[in-house]
Amino acid sequence: MINSIKIAYRNAFRNKRRTLLSILAIAIGGFASLTIGSFVNSVNQGIRTQTARDGGHIHIHTKGYFNFGTGKTDKYTINDYTTVMNLIKNSSIGSDIAVMTPVLQVSGIAGNYAKNASQTFIGIGQIYKDQLEMQKWDGYKIDMPSPKTPLSKNSTSAYIGKGLAINLSLCEKLHIKGCVEEVKKINNNPIDSDISDFMEEGKISDKAEVSLLVASSSGAPNIANIAVENVWSKTQKNLDDMFIALPLKEAQVLLYGEKNNKASAINIQLKSYEEMPKIIASLKKLFKEKKLNLEIIDLQTFNPEVQKVIGIFGVIFGFVSIIIGLIVVFTISNTMTMSIMERYNEIGTLRSMGLRRSMIRRYFVLEGSIIGIIGASIGVALAYIVTTLINSVGLMWSPPNTAVETQLVLSMNNIALVVFVWLFLIFVSTISSLVPASRASKMPIVDALGHH
Give DSSP secondary structure letters for 205-257. PSS-EEEEEEE-TTS-EEEEEEEEEEE---SSHHHHTTEEEEEHHHHHHHHH-
Count of CB atoms situated within 10 Å of the CB of 117: 22
Start-to-end Cα distance in the chain: 31
Residue-level pLDDT at 269: 96
As a whole number, mean pLDDT of residues 81-99 equals 94
Whole-angstrom distance, CA of residue 253 vs CA of residue 224:
9
Q: Are 383 and 34 in contact (CB under 8 A)?
A: yes
pLDDT at 244 over 90: yes
411 and 45 Cβ atoms separated by less than 8 Å:
yes
Q: Residue 93: pLDDT band by 50, 70, 90 thresholds? A: very high
CB-CB neighbours of 182 under 10 Å: 11
Q: CA 23, CA 371: separation in Å to the nearest integer?
A: 6
Q: Apex CA 195: angle with CA 107 and CA 112, to 5°? A: 65
What pTM did the predictor assign? 0.76
What's 71's DSSP letter? G
Q: Which percentage of the chain shows pLDDT scores above 90?
A: 31
For the segment 271-330, what is each residue's pLDDT rounded down to a tens digit?
998 899 999 999 999 999 999 999 999 988 887 777 787 888 888 888 888 888 888 888
- pLDDT of the residue at 394: 75
**In degrees rounded to 5, what are phi and psi of residue 428?**
-65, -40
pLDDT in the model for residue 70: 65
**Residue 201 confidence (pLDDT):** 46
Return the pLDDT at 1: 64
Beta bridge partners of 209: 227
Helix residue spans in 262-414 (DSSP H): 276-289, 299-302, 305-342, 344-352, 357-393
Residue 338 has pLDDT above 60, yes or no: yes
Domain layout of the chain by residue ranges: 2-48+307-450, 64-292
Ranking 60-74, 187-201, 353-367 by mean pLDDT, the lowest is 187-201
Residue 172, amino acid: E
* pLDDT the model gives residue 202: 41
**Which of 19-23, 263-267, 275-279, 393-397 has the lowest average pLDDT?**
393-397
Quote the pLDDT of residue 380.
Answer: 93
More confident residue, 417 or 147: 417
Least confident interval from 73-77, 118-122, 192-196: 192-196
Residue 144 clears pLDDT 50, i.e. is over it: yes
**pLDDT (0 to 100) of residue 203:** 44
Q: Assess whether pLDDT exceeds 80 at residue 259.
A: no
**In this structure, how many other beta carbons lie within 10 angstroms of the beta carbon of residue 276?**
18
